[in-house]
A and B are shown apart, each in its own frame.
Chain A
Amino acid sequence: MIFRSALAAWVAAIGFAAPAQAAEGERVQITGEIIDTWCYFSGVMGFTDSVTGSAHHTCALWCSAGGIPVGLLGEDGEVYMVLKIEGDDQSASGDTQLKLASHEIVADGMLYKRDGLNYLVVEAVVEDRGITNLNHEDFGVVPPFAIPNPDK
């Protein structure tokens, strides 16, 4: 599927965030979009603006269902790896993760910084604004084969 197509072209594409020295988690409230972290960081399906929003919604569902952990792309441009959302004790493929794919949310939870990465435990989705990034109008479906063609 999408993963088999992507593997051959996967290249390094993620830089380290500035290291933090917090001794414990920090309560935060972050507004951003629930994204498909695989396609966002790998670059194999397109540049970052095209692998978010409505253009990438179908692929994001496939990836989450396939086990790719979701992330929260904050308004600050940082990506927060989501460890849990509310009662869903998984980082991918849970009902909540699938329901919120590509949605803009306001997340309240605890931020943990390790190894230059941001990990977020979302204790409450304060607001779910739905899919607000309607970039399919610009990019179409990214990648096009995310929607299977039954005629083939």
Chain B
Amino acid sequence: MIRSLLLTCAMAVPAMAETPLPFKLGGAFELTNQFGETRTEADPDGNPQLLFFGYVNCQEICSAVFPMLGQVVDTLEEKGIDVTPVLITVDPKRDTVDTMEEPLAVHHPDFVGLTGSAEALQVAYDAYSIETEEVFYDPEFGPVLAHGSFVYLLDAEGKFLTLVPPIVSPEQAAGIVEKYVGETS
């Protein structure tokens, strides 16, 4: 009942002029996906994208965002809207072509994991003002890294459309995406 009500509220948000954010987000990058293929900011399948910076082994914010993204993608798919979830790693030492596929597929089969050289990743970090550093060492899971926590909605070409806070419900996040995808499609 509550979910249905919230979904109704989310869907009812009309298209409108939004306040521009006071900083620029987005830009070109060229990285490597979990299959060893080159992947830029544009989605090869022509889908809008939900981009997040984090790492597969993250037990903090990523453990909330990854399943949320999977649920958002599934919710939108039921409405006939295909969206690609994308992770750009801040932990390229552990997130490699050989290690990312299986853990990301747990959250959604379409999840794209991107890694690359430090230089190539820095280009993406700079585009989204991502700062990352090791904040402490977890004896069980290894280094814990700080990174951005917002999800970015991009269009199929990789242009930034809006922010999605990681604390909203999957239904609310899907409502935000649907509004923008409707405007751009």
| Chain A contact residues, CB within 8 Å of chain B | 1, 3-4, 6-7, 10-16, 19-25, 37-38, 41-42, 65-69, 81, 83, 89-93, 110, 112-117, 119, 121
Which of B6, B9, B61, B131 neighbours the largest number of chain A CB atoms within 10 Å of its CB?
A: B61
**What is the bound-complex CA distance between A23 and B17, given in angstroms?**
7
Q: Evaluate contact between B3 and A66: CB separation under 8 angstroms.
A: no
**What is the bound-complex CA distance between A16 and B3, given in angstroms?**
13
Q: For the complex, is B113 an interface residue (Cβ under 8 Å from A)?
A: no
| Chain B contact residues, CB within 8 Å of chain A | 2-3, 6-7, 9-10, 12-14, 16-22, 59-64, 67, 129, 131, 135, 146-150, 162-163, 165-172, 175-176, 179
Q: Give me 30 A-to-B residue pairs in the complex whose CB atoms sit less than 8 angstroms apart, sorted by A's number.
A: A3-B61, A7-B63, A7-B64, A10-B169, A11-B2, A11-B3, A14-B168, A16-B9, A16-B10, A16-B12, A19-B14, A23-B17, A41-B167, A42-B167, A68-B167, A69-B149, A69-B165, A90-B148, A91-B148, A91-B149, A92-B61, A93-B146, A113-B18, A114-B19, A114-B163, A115-B13, A116-B13, A117-B165, A117-B168, A119-B163
Return chain A residues, CB-CB under 8 Å to B176: 115
The 4 closest A-B pairs by CB, nearest first: A67-B61, A12-B169, A66-B60, A112-B19
